[in-house]
Amino acid sequence: MNQDQLKQLVGRAALDYVTPGQIIGVGTGSTVDCFIDALAGSGIAVAGAVSSSERSTQRLRQHGIPVLDAAEVSGLTVYIDGADEIDSNGYMVKGGGAALTREKIVADLADKFVCIADASKLVQTLGKFPLPVEVIPMAAAQLARRFAALGGTATLRAGVVTDNSCHILDVTGLAITDPLAFEAEVTLWPGVVTVGVFARNKAQVCLLGGADGVRTLS
Ligand code: 5RP
């Protein structure tokens, strides 16, 4: 199976976590696109979805799935999203699609984060994938200096303005050995909107697609 087929496989597998009649949280990315398509074709009628990006909102609406504002719900039973990296504890790096801030907001509303990914995303230590950090534009240079002090190299993602009118720094050269402490520290830096380490909002379940099918880590 190629990577696209693995994404379709885990997109379909995530349907097991969707209860008809409920409002679900929906992430962003090519794997989530597969989930949205699978949901639309499944006959499972959800009451609606809270979406983490304009991209997913468009796709949900194209399929006739109602999209609700985050402010309209007080909680969600489940949030389904992909990841750029995930470790065996469910800690993730996210934001390759620049949607990390809304992803963290919707994840925070949910009782359970179900991560869907192909097996190449499973790592021992987070940090090989360039860490996305959404920043207020005027803070970008100072934040790059702060990451340099940690041994990282921050590069402004060219031509990208997020759904929140902010910029993305991609940081290479970090080995994130304590994701909870790292997320807590970087979140405090002035000008950081969201750091792409999802440790506090980690995945409770990960559906990993590989040659042998779907493996569930929980
Ligand atoms: C978007 C994300 C995505 O979940 C992550 O980039 C994985 O994307 P894909 O499913 O396309 O590999 O965090 O901001």
C-alpha to C-alpha distance for 165 and 135, rounded to whole angstroms: 10
CA of 149 to the centre of ligand 1 (A): 27
Burial of 71 (0-12, 13-18, 19+ CB in 10 A): exposed
**pLDDT score for 87:** 97
Q: In whole angstroms, how far apart are CA 169 and each of 32, 107, 121, 199?
A: 23, 22, 21, 19
pLDDT in tens, 164-203: 999 999 999 999 999 999 999 999 999 999 999 999 999 9
Measured over the CA atoms of residue 151, residue 154, residue 129 and residue 28, the dihedral's sign is positive
| pTM of the entire predicted model | 0.95
Residue 1 pLDDT greater than 90, yes or no: no
pLDDT, mean of residues 97-119:
97
pLDDT, mean of residues 22-27:
98
Query: Does residue 95's CB lie within 6 angstroms of at least one atom of ligand 1?
Result: yes
Which amino acid type is present at position 107? A
**pLDDT score for 33:** 98
Beta strand 92-93 with 110-118: parallel, antiparallel or unpaired?
unpaired
Instruction: Output the six-digit token pair for 92.
Output: 């993730």
**pLDDT score for 112:** 98
Q: What is the mean pLDDT of the chain?
A: 97
**pLDDT score for 182:** 98
Buried b (16+ CB within 10 A) or exposed e, 133-161: bbbeeebbeebbebbeeeebebeebeeee
Atom of ligand 1 nearest to the CA of 196: 13
Pocket probe mutation, ligand 1, options 28, 91, 104, max atoms within 8 Å of Cβ: 28
Residue 120 DSSP one-character state: G
C-alpha to C-alpha distance for 50 and 120, rounded to whole angstroms: 28
Pocket probe mutation, ligand 1, options 26, 31, 85, 114, max atoms within 8 Å of Cβ: 31
C-alpha to C-alpha distance for 182 and 180, rounded to whole angstroms: 6
CA of 75 to the centre of ligand 1 (A): 23
Query: Does residue 99's CB lie within 6 angstroms of at least one atom of ligand 1?
Result: yes
- Phi, psi angle pair for 209, to nearest 5°: -95, 125
Can you say how many angstroms the Cα of residue 41 is from the centroid of all Cα atoms in its chain? Answer: 23
pLDDT, mean of residues 59-67:
98
Residue 81 annotated as binding? yes
Q: Which residues are catalytic?
A: 103
